[in-house]
Structure 1
Amino acid sequence: MTPHISRKRSMLAISTAVAAGALLAAGMTTGASAQPVASSGAPVALSSTARAGLLQDANADKAATAEKIGLGAKEKLVVRDVVKDANGTTHTRYERTYDGLPVLGGDLVVHTAKSGKVKSVTKATKATVKVASTDAKLGKSSVAKSAESTASKSKTTKADAQSPRKVIWAAEGKPVLAYETVVTGMQKDGTPSRLRVVTDAATGKKLFQKQEIENATGNSQYSGKVEIGSKKGSNGFDLTDDSRGGHSTFNLENGEGEGKIFTDDDDTWGNGKPDDAQTAGVDAAYGAQVTWDYYKGVHGREGIKGDGKGATSRVHYGDSYVNAFWDDSCFCMTYGDGEGNKKPLTSIDVAAHEMSHGVTSATGNMEYSGESGGLNEATSDIFGSSVEFNAKSPEDIGDYLIGEEIDINGDGSPLRYMDKPSKDGQSLDNWSADAGNVDVHYSSGIANHFFYLLSEGSGAKEINGVKYDSPTADGSKVEGIGRDKAEKIWFKALTSYFTTTTDYKAAREGTVKAATDLYGADSAEVKGVEAAWTGVNVK
């Protein structure tokens, strides 16, 4: 079939080939409207200009705000993000400094009524931020060498430490003076590495480490004939979508670096097969497009950071690289071509999962380790699935299965199951005291299971051909409130109540507050949130 050709938009044929036996489909959740009706605590859609104005106001008032909430004389606020509700309440997210040093784990959200009165404050730490001295006993060179050693033990090759910076570490226990060192290099699977290591400035003890290149194995499913944005460029047409913040797609040509923007003479892109480099570019651009449309149309968020600016997609990374990753430092999404460079990992849910890491980074920013890391990873699964539903692609109908098309196990099974996460053999169905010691891709199962229970309820059911059977920790029956409402509650909690140190107990508290804001304190939605968390043993 000959694609429709347009100077601004192109109908593009894309391969619909998938791994044998891998395609599992589920339909859209039906039911009552998800629009909040009991409260006006729903967030309003902010244009980039309106958001910038609120941030400017918050920045002008930050000294007064610091005094209102009782910060010490050496503490100052740094404005990061803002959300405004229909009732005039604003939720302003801040970082904190102490004597000029960044406070890691010192972030907080100030909830202010329309009248200007502070209603409450959500803090990442409850401890008083104060240290005896900001003079470090250890030199930067020894700290850098120690960080490089940590990276090497984490199987990072070509480890190169940047100059350490002094910080206050407040994410755990009593705040202490520390050094933060970023070590770059390469992970064992070919993914770039940027390891952040926090070291006690007095003893040299490692306090924390975090891999900042957040990745997850995706799938090679394609989306059929789709429409994407392009624009007239110096060499024909560029794969740039000005209607979505100028998102552009680049070709790395099976290498690294920045790559070259995709161009085409006649604005007809790809041939639907992986032997044409443009095909993967089309899939990546489409994935970015439906992710943008989801956040804007469902949550009123214009772009990943809410500032109206598009990200960048890069395809054909490395040689036979079987992964995809989001990198906040370049604000970009990168895709490998899979085994033998034949199956680019450029699907809807991969794009949405990874770009949602960017949304999380700009909002709740849960640290990518322990229970907060599980919540971070689950957030990307939750919104990856939600975007897939919202896209309404006839080739990829939304479901509660993660990576169902990749066939990484060789038997057609998905990577993760939201209805019963333990079916993958490693993920947790329910919370336990050991949850924080489990890999974040598996501790994420607790929140994924919660989201499924909140959306659909417990027990056996079939949704458009896919069979689910979701148990509860205590054998109780949970009635779902519908996926549309569940999405809104999770997004509200992420943007208004989650912080860098949010654990599962705090996530329960945050989602209850979010449901209360949206639907009222005595609503069925609040009761549904409480029941779903109890169903995964978070009480």
Structure 2
Amino acid sequence: MSPLYARHKRTTLAIATAVAAGALLTTGMTANASAAAKQPLAAAPTLLSNSARTALIQKADANVAETAKQIGLGTKEKLVVKDVVKDVDGTVHTRYERTYAGLPVLGGDIVVHTSKAGKTEGVTKATKATIKVASLKPQLTVAKAEKAALTAAKTLGSTKSAADGARKVIWAGSGTPVLAYETVVGGFQDDGTPNKLHVITDAATGKKLFEYQGIENATGTGKTLYSGTVSLTTSLSGSTYSLTDASRGSHKTYNLKHTTSSGTGTLFTNTTNTWGTGTASSSTTDVTAAADAAYGAQETWDFYKNTFGRSGIKNDGVGAYSRVHYGSSYVNAFWDDDCFCMTYGDGDSNTHPLTSLDVAGHEMSHGVTANTAGLNYSGESGGLNEATSDIFGTGVEFYAANSSDPGDYLIGEKIDINGDGTPLRYMDQPSKDGGSANYWSSTVKNLDVHYSSGVANHFFYLLSEGSGAKTINGVSYNSPTYNSSTLTGIGRDKALQIWYKALTTYFTSTTNYKSARTGTLSAAAALYGSGSTEYNAVAAAWTAVNVTA
């Protein structure tokens, strides 16, 4: 377990209340201009209240037999109301599923269009074919249908040895309607995406008629606390959305509801694809923290993939998962490699969740370290472990280029753990937090890993940006050096490549600061050449934090 910061340094937090003021802009629109504004189109859908929608569905449901007769369905066919839309002019469009002799008709859905006066004006059918089959007795056994479905699922990488179930249906999606089996195979696809493969098999011949994936990606809207309004990749199953990112290894976001359970908790689901309100709530049903966590996981995945070509934390295409609302007023966040998950507390009064972008990147980077160098979480190697998470968490923040949380060399500046608006850590001058080391000394190994990390954080800043006073993205920095040298940075992008190469190629579980110098020099030589500007900059930056050969 790798927490975000040292628990023993926890201080009493002041409650900070942010008051947002807004002004109503008067446009000076004249009465004539207002009158000339476009009226809603007659055929545009009108917004229905829940009660109005329910009433329309109940009315349609009460009349399904009469409607089936009016549109010419056979005596074995029945309609099942699925949804209803009402236009501005009063026209109602009712969507139905269809059954035949009690069996679902796949591809048999119908939309009936009714005027304001209640007269049927038209019918839209998924199939024009007459629904009729000679026999409802299958010649194929369920076991054979399931075997065919499993074979189809294996082409997607599924390793399931048994199907999740099969049911008799009427297949009317193409050609002549036939009796068929619909078999569902779960598990995972080869890229880690959840699998819910539906395979339609002819119940007489065993021929595969159709297949489709029940897991769909959708683009949702996250109204986050720290990063503003963002796009989230979610999943749609039936009519329910979930915070499952199938495009990024099936990362999921769960709700622990203020418990300290070791389990996953409850997956966040919703009937709409909008997540959060942009403000924090102490309620266990608060979705805003989940939106922040899901966004952080999404950006971290993309950062590693697009910066280093790394597919997920283990580089195997499989996503971790996030848990929010851990404990009550828990002021920390941590990575646990055993559960392969990130966990976030809600902070003071359960209204300051630790789900900011750099914290998300920090936590998942602990997983990358655990699955590469495996730096021991103690002494100098522990400091390097923590610094690696700060370095890559900073990389994620710059990569996201989010105007609500611009990239900086401050750690946890958004979550306000100190209660006074100051960040947890400063990479340009680590000692500003009151505990971290700017430079290496023989006593650094005795510090808590969150403070011994300062040496590597300082090295990374100097390597990226150089020494002295400067302003980056509106934040002022002034980075000193141990030997009073003046350094010119090589840029953050190159510094990230060098650190990642060293972590994944040259660092081991026991790497200390001296061997980290050796490892990063080896990485710089491999990437840019021995004696290159980048190589020499690495050497100079280590010397500037008192790590010498």
TM range (shorter): 0.5 to 0.7
Per the alignment, in what secondary structure is the counterpart of residue 298 of structure 1?
Answer: helix
Shift of 1:464: 2.8
1:173-226, Cα deviation, whole Å (9 max, x unpaired): xxxxxxxxxxxxxxxxxxxxxxxxxxxxxxxxxxxxxxxxxxxxxxx9511111
2:392 aligned with 1:383: yes
Matches within 5 A, 1:327-406: 327-406=336-415
Shift of 1:280: 1.3
Give the one of 259, 267, 274 matched to 2:273.
267
1:366-392, Cα deviation, whole Å (9 max, x unpaired): 100010000000000001111000000
Give the one of 217, 221, 228 matched to 1:224.
228
AA partner of residue 249 (structure 1): T
2:508 aligned with 1:521: no
Find the counterpart in structure 2 of residue 239 from structure 1: 243
AA partner of residue 273 (structure 1): T
Find the counterpart in structure 2 of residue 431 from structure 1: 440
AA partner of residue 313 (structure 2): I
Per the alignment, in what secondary structure is the counterpart of residue 488 of structure 1?
Answer: helix
Q: Which runs of 5+ in 1 are unaligned?
A: 1-16, 22-51, 53-219
Find the counterpart in structure 1 of residue 488 from structure 2: 479
Given that 1:419 and 1:468 are in contact with CA atoms closer than 8 Å, whether structure 2 keeps it comes out as: yes
Equivalent-residue separation in structure 2 for 1:20 and 1:463 (angstroms): 25
Per the alignment, in what secondary structure is the counterpart of residue 230 of structure 1?
Answer: strand
Q: Name segments (4+ residues, structure 1) moved above 3 Å.
A: 17-21
Per the alignment, in what secondary structure is the counterpart of residue 252 of structure 1?
Answer: strand
Given that 1:291 and 1:351 are in contact with CA atoms closer than 8 Å, whether structure 2 keeps it comes out as: yes
Percent identical: 64
- CA 1:449 to 1:459, structure 2 compared with 1: closer, same or farther past 3 Å? same
- CA 1:316 to 1:462, structure 2 compared with 1: closer, same or farther past 3 Å? same
Equivalent-residue separation in structure 1 for 2:238 and 2:425 (angstroms): 44
Given that 1:19 and 1:412 are in contact with CA atoms closer than 8 Å, whether structure 2 keeps it comes out as: no
1:10-54, Cα deviation, whole Å (9 max, x unpaired): xxxxxxx99769xxxxxxxxxxxxxxxxxxxxxxxxxxxxxx9xx
TM-score by length of structure 1 reads 0.59
Equivalent-residue separation in structure 2 for 1:301 and 1:18 (angstroms): 39
Equivalent-residue separation in structure 1 for 2:406 and 2:513 (angstroms): 30
Given that 1:315 and 1:335 are in contact with CA atoms closer than 8 Å, whether structure 2 keeps it comes out as: yes
Find the counterpart in structure 1 of residue 547 from structure 2: 538
Per the alignment, in what secondary structure is the counterpart of residue 467 of structure 1?
Answer: strand
Given that 1:454 and 1:482 are in contact with CA atoms closer than 8 Å, whether structure 2 keeps it comes out as: yes
Find the counterpart in structure 2 of residue 250 from structure 1: 254
Equivalent-residue separation in structure 2 for 1:235 and 1:252 (angstroms): 24
Shift of 1:271: 2.2
Shift of 1:499: 0.2
Equivalent-residue separation in structure 2 for 1:378 and 1:349 (angstroms): 13
Find the counterpart in structure 2 of residue 304 from structure 1: 313
Given that 2:356 and 2:415 are in contact with CA atoms closer than 8 Å, whether structure 1 keeps it comes out as: no
Equivalent-residue separation in structure 2 for 1:403 and 1:232 (angstroms): 33
Matches within 5 A, 1:86-485: 222-233=226-237, 236-255=240-259, 256=261, 257-275=263-281, 277-485=286-494
AA partner of residue 519 (structure 2): G
Given that 2:331 and 2:417 are in contact with CA atoms closer than 8 Å, whether structure 1 keeps it comes out as: no
Shift of 1:408: 2.7
AA partner of residue 371 (structure 2): A
Equivalent-residue separation in structure 1 for 2:415 and 2:279 (angstroms): 17
AA partner of residue 471 (structure 1): P
Shift of 1:462: 1.4
Equivalent-residue separation in structure 2 for 1:415 and 1:19 (angstroms): 19
AA partner of residue 265 (structure 1): T
Shift of 1:332: 0.6
Q: Which runs of 5+ in 2 are unaligned?
A: 1-14, 20-156, 158-223
Matches within 5 A, 1:495-510: 495-510=504-519
AA partner of residue 534 (structure 1): T
Per the alignment, in what secondary structure is the counterpart of residue 228 of structure 1?
Answer: strand
Equivalent-residue separation in structure 2 for 1:449 and 1:391 (angstroms): 22
Shift of 1:229: 1.3
Equivalent-residue separation in structure 2 for 1:478 and 1:383 (angstroms): 22
Equivalent-residue separation in structure 2 for 1:400 and 1:476 (angstroms): 21
Shift of 1:235: 6.3
Per the alignment, in what secondary structure is the counterpart of residue 392 of structure 2?
Answer: helix
- The total of aligned residue pairs comes to 326
Larger radius of gyration: 2
Higher relative contact order (CA 8 A, sep 6+): 1
AA partner of residue 241 (structure 1): D
Equivalent-residue separation in structure 2 for 1:260 and 1:234 (angstroms): 18
Equivalent-residue separation in structure 2 for 1:240 and 1:388 (angstroms): 22
Given that 2:464 and 2:495 are in contact with CA atoms closer than 8 Å, whether structure 1 keeps it comes out as: yes
Q: CA RMSD in A?
A: 1.9
Shift of 1:230: 1.1
Per the alignment, in what secondary structure is the counterpart of residue 476 of structure 1?
Answer: coil
Given that 1:453 and 1:480 are in contact with CA atoms closer than 8 Å, whether structure 2 keeps it comes out as: yes
1:131-157, Cα deviation, whole Å (9 max, x unpaired): xxxxxxxxxxxxxxxxxxxxxxxxxxx
- CA 1:404 to 1:472, structure 2 compared with 1: closer, same or farther past 3 Å? same
TM-score by length of structure 2 reads 0.58
Given that 1:20 and 1:412 are in contact with CA atoms closer than 8 Å, whether structure 2 keeps it comes out as: no
